[in-house]
Amino acid sequence: MTPQITVQLYSVREQAGKDYEGTIRAIADMGFGCVEPAGYPGSSAEDAAKLFSELGLVAPTAHIALPVGEDKNKIIEQAQLMGHRYLITGCPPGFRENFTSMDRVKAMCDLYSEAAENAAAHGLQVGYHNHDWDLIEVDGERAYKVFLERTPESVVYEADIFWVARAGLDPAAFIREIGVRGKAIHFKDGIISPEATFTEAKTESGNVMVSDAVPFRAAGEGEVDLVAASKALEHTEYVAVELDSFDGDMLAAVQRSYQYLTSKQIAQGNK
């Protein structure tokens, strides 16, 4: 079955921060029936839940913190309020420090396993969203392979195929490798240049990487072979539009991405 199209709302954070309701209404008007929140700039989870309900939007996936530690119940309660099924980290707790040694990689895996157990008690699953720096070799092993080996299969792996390609890996092969974990995939497009550098920035939903350039493009307008990657979507329920940044009208880029992904039958929406 063709996956549902969704959009990572981090893409429109600037617009949402100025007019959250207007931005979400514009996204619903494009034909999106699903959205993927990453915090609520200019709003709150409570107000967003009411707005989503009014517009017929659902948020089965979200970039949100792991349900561990003292905030465990708070995170689960927010997920239940928003109707999330998959609680996915935009970046892992501890960020790049997790990839400085194999012991740290394994400790991170243990944390996701703990979070998975906590989430399962409430009918939820946790997940991991990759960049390129976490696809490196650590002590001679690919860190993501260790993650797949040391966490339960219920831990979703939300592959971001722009970053997969930038790491020198084949997106279609990567999607096949993660198998049933690939419930949601970011079909991000852009210019795959090794010259662009990325630095850490903090957001409401966690740390992200920000480029000193703007390599991201609307879907179908960059160098990632999205059509080839789509052939591997055997287990995927949601295909996400995401642009970390864009040199131009972000909402127009999101709409062009919607049109490309639905016209190519990579994902389906409401229009």
CATH of the domain at 18: 3.20.20.150
Give domain status of residue 223, yes or no.
yes
pLDDT tens by residue, 52-105? 999 999 999 999 999 999 999 999 999 999 999 999 999 999 999 999 999 999
Give domain status of residue 271, yes or no.
no
150's enclosing H/E stretch is helix 143-150
The mean pLDDT value for 189-209 works out to: 66
Q: Given pLDDT bands bounded at 50, 70 and 90, which one contains residue 206?
A: low
* Residue 204: per-residue pLDDT: 54
Is 208's pLDDT higher than 80?
Answer: no
Is 108's pLDDT higher than 90?
Answer: yes
The mean pLDDT value for 37-52 works out to: 97
Q: Residues with Cβ < 8 Å from 228, sequence gap 6 or more?
A: 171, 172
pTM higher than 0.75 = yes
The mean pLDDT value for 238-243 works out to: 98
Q: Between these two residues, 204 and 233, which has the higher pLDDT value?
A: 233
Bridge pairing between strands 137-138 and 125-129 = unpaired
Residue from 244, 235, 243 nearest 203 by CA:
244
* Residue 213: per-residue pLDDT: 64
Give domain status of residue 268, yes or no.
no
Q: Given pLDDT bands bounded at 50, 70 and 90, which one contains residue 214?
A: confident
pLDDT tens by residue, 142-196? 999 999 999 999 999 999 999 999 999 999 999 999 999 999 999 999 999 766 5
* Residue 255: per-residue pLDDT: 98
Give phi and psi for 173, each to the nearest 5.
-65, -35
* Residue 10: per-residue pLDDT: 96
What is d(CA 88, CA 94) in angstroms, rounded to the nearest whole number?
15
Residue from 100, 108, 102 nearest 128 by CA:
108
Residue 6 has which token pair? 């969704």
The mean pLDDT value for 11-24 works out to: 97
Domain containing 40 equals: 4-263
Number of domains in the chain: 1
Give domain status of residue 269, yes or no.
no
pLDDT tens by residue, 109-141? 999 999 999 999 999 999 999 999 999 999 999
